[in-house]
Amino acid sequence: MDKKVTNILRYGLWIAVAALLVYFSFRNVNWKDFGAALRECHWGFVVLSMVFGVAAFFLHALRWRMQLLPLDASTQLATTWNAFNICTITNYVLPRMGEVARCGYVVRHSGRDAEGKRLVTFDKVLGTVVADRIWDLLSLIAVTLLVVGLMWNRFGTFFSEALFPGLSDKVHLWWILVLAIFLAGAFIVACWRLRGRGGIWGRIWGWIRGIYDGLVSCMHMRQGWLFILYTVLLWCMYWLMSASIMWALQGIDPASVSPELAAALGQIDHLGMADALLLMFAGALSSLIPVPGGFGAFHGAVALALSSVYGIPFGIGLVFATLSHESQVIAGILCGASSYIHETFFRR
């Protein structure tokens, strides 16, 4: 089958999956309460979440520039900023194609050597993108451990009952962590021993080795500590984005909404920063489903977390997810527009 036709079918499939996820997430929503919650929320905090989102874009551009500088010392922050914004907007429509777009943009704006050749090639830039994604994965693993450590008392019983029905009183956090570490270590050793057989084992080992290479890559950079700092600050922005939406729904006047909605929103009033971290984690996990812009996947994951862990009605969880997701889509579009204006009128 022609590659172009294959790509069209693949993207069409993921768009259909996104549409189905949106449908199943919103099909039983009480639209009257949904609209009332949107009207009465504190929109200043929604705007604040967008500000944190733009700051996250900027930190990502700063961090990625550090990876590109060893390849081309003339790489400008404007280049990585515009490339990342182009990547974000492209992924809203074609999942995973944004990485291709940002690589092409950087190559087109890279410096030239004495012979007039570009200092970087597409494959080299793509390598930095892969390393960038690996660092995001490693950060997600770190956030997972942090969430488990901070939130175990809140959702540990739910988690252990789901994994080991009837054994929740006997299953503790440390036993689960020890078991997870042992299984992960055994799997890595098995992949290493079977790597020479090629096939799936070779690919998995290559993926594991890539994660390791990404982990140590910052050690070869100048000011590698700054790379780590940018990464920590980046995830702090994600955390504050989640917290801002939580604050937007807290403190709504019960008299302005129905008693049922007031009771549901009252449950959100008791959430704190650790809970915002859990909701950020749920949203980050949804990115593993490559649907355009995370539509449907993000909404379902966050609403399910609020419903399963806190007992907050699914429909109110969708209000939180909608405010969080759509505000960041708008922020991404605005950043993309700024990059388009800069590229069109100010870049030479």
For tokens 């294959």, name the residue. 6
- Residue 298 sits at the vertex; the CA angle it makes with 92 and 11, to the nearest 5 degrees, is 40
How many domains does one find in the chain?
1
Indicate whether 44 belongs to any domain: yes
Mean of the pLDDT values across residues 321-346? 90
Top pLDDT among 118 and 155 is at 118
Contact 245, 45 (CB under 8 A): yes
The residue among 36, 46, 43 whose CA lies nearest residue 254 is 36
Indicate whether 207 belongs to any domain: no
* Residue 214 confidence (pLDDT) above 70: no
pLDDT digits (tens, 9 = 90+) for 176-186: 667 777 777 78
Model-level pTM? 0.81
Indicate whether 117 belongs to any domain: yes
Top pLDDT among 239 and 91 is at 239
* Residue 74 confidence (pLDDT) above 80: yes
Q: In whole angstroms, give the CA distance from residue 138 to residue 334.
A: 29
Q: What's the confidence (pLDDT) of residue 172? A: 55
Q: What's the confidence (pLDDT) of residue 170? A: 47
Contact 24, 300 (CB under 8 A): yes
Indicate whether 234 belongs to any domain: yes
SS3 per-residue string spanning the chain? CCHHHHHHHHHHHHHHHHHHHHHHHHCCCCHHHHHHHHHHCCHHHHHHHHHHHHHHHHHHHHHHHHHHCCCCCCCCHHHHHHHHHHHHHHHHHCCCCHHHHHHHHHHHCCCECCCCCECCCHHHHHHHHHHHHHHHHHHHHHHHHHHHHHHHHHHHHHHHHHHCCCCCCCCCHHHHHHHHHHHHHHHHHHHHHHHHHCHHHHHHHHHHHHHHHHHHHHHHCCCHHHHHHHHHHHHHHHHHHHHHHHHHHCCCCHHHCCHHHHHHHHHHCCCCHHHHHHHHHHHHHHCCCCCHHHCCHHHHHHHHHHHHHHCCCHHHHHHHHHHHHHHHHHHHHHHHHHHHHHHHHHCC
Q: In whole angstroms, give the CA distance from residue 94 to residue 101.
A: 11
Distance from first CA to last CA of the chain, Å, rounded? 41
Mean of the pLDDT values across residues 302-324? 89
Q: What's the confidence (pLDDT) of residue 202? A: 74
Top pLDDT among 238 and 347 is at 238
pLDDT digits (tens, 9 = 90+) for 4-23: 666 667 667 767 877 888 88
Phi–psi pair at 118, nearest 5 degrees: -65, 140
Q: What's the confidence (pLDDT) of residue 211? A: 58
Indicate whether 158 belongs to any domain: yes
Host domain of residue 46: 40-171+221-346
Provide the pLDDT confidence category of residue 241 given band limits of 50, 70 and 90.
very high
Contact 109, 79 (CB under 8 A): yes
Contact 249, 320 (CB under 8 A): yes
Indicate whether 333 belongs to any domain: yes
Q: In whole angstroms, give the CA distance from residue 246 to residue 266.
A: 12
Contact 224, 306 (CB under 8 A): no
| Crossing angle for the helix pair 3-26 and 297-310, to the nearest 10 degrees | 30
pLDDT digits (tens, 9 = 90+) for 19-57: 888 887 888 888 888 889 899 999 999 999 999 999 999
Indicate whether 35 belongs to any domain: no
Top pLDDT among 85 and 200 is at 85
Q: What percent of the chain has pLDDT over 90?
A: 24
Task: Report the Cα 33 to chain-centroid distance in Å.
Answer: 28
Structure tokens that stand for 264 in this block: 């549901």
Q: What's the confidence (pLDDT) of residue 243? A: 96
* Residue 204 confidence (pLDDT) above 80: no
Provide the pLDDT confidence category of residue 84 given band limits of 50, 70 and 90.
very high
Q: What percent of the chain has pLDDT over 70?
A: 84
Mean of the pLDDT values across residues 256-268? 86
Mean pLDDT is lowest, of 161-175, 253-267, 270-284, 310-324, for 161-175
Contact 297, 19 (CB under 8 A): no
Mean pLDDT is lowest, of 148-157, 163-172, 212-221, 293-302, for 163-172
Contact 285, 91 (CB under 8 A): no
Indicate whether 303 belongs to any domain: yes
Mean of the pLDDT values across residues 238-248? 95
Top pLDDT among 143 and 201 is at 143
